[in-house]
Amino acid sequence: MRRLVEKSGDDHAWGVDALIEPRKEIMKTIGLVALAFTALTMLSCGSSAPTSPAAKEEPAAPAVPAKPAIPADIQKPAELALGSETEVLAFGDLSKSGPQQILAINRLKAAPPGVSAEGILLTRAVIVQNEGAAWKQIFLCDEHLKNTKGFLGGTPLAPVNGWRLQYEQHDKGLEMYFTPLTSPKGEGGHVLPVGIRWNPKVKRYQSLDRTFENFLGELPSLETPESQIR
């Protein structure tokens, strides 16, 4: 009987140990998994993905090209014609006739009330031409439009205090369009552009008719020469 009891006790102890050992292995495995998870969590929190340089720095806006400087030998004759507040718009063989020419303006500082400020607004414009050792004025826009022979045909008789200029250069040379900013006195409210281009036959700038194809002659004088500029 005693041997049976001892054997029964041994069997019971062996059964308990058999149950405990797998449980220890399971707990050990769970502990290792938890430790690994904790390590991964700390690693992911402590080190974030590096930010690429492209994400840190926003692309810079493209630089606006600087306006080319006007050479001194071009700026000086333009200022001699119009004064210190002269802006050179174009220079070179503007008429496609050979001599160097300069188109310069006195820009209007402020548009009149009710007049759009878009475009080139000016009070005076000039074209001077190089003739060897000197520059000669061959076209003038002030209150009127004039060349070396007189007032350009088809232009307003009344003085104009300000103009809007559009110009372009093509195979025929420089072409300009002068439009009064306000309707000149006696013009009946009409404000039309005056086209001007180099006439190779007479070798000077002349105004164009309303088709902008045919040249108009000059007027030696105007009927209303009074000035509205004060």
For residue 38, the model assigns a pLDDT of: 55
Handedness of CA 187, 191, 192, 197 (dihedral sign): positive
Task: Give this prediction's pTM.
Answer: 0.68
For position 75, what pLDDT does the model report?
97
In percent, the amount of the chain with pLDDT more than 90 equals 52
Tens of pLDDT, residue by residue over 7-38, are: 444 444 444 454 445 555 555 555 555 555 55
The mean per-residue pLDDT over the stretch 100-118 comes to 92
* Domain positions in the chain: 2-46, 72-219
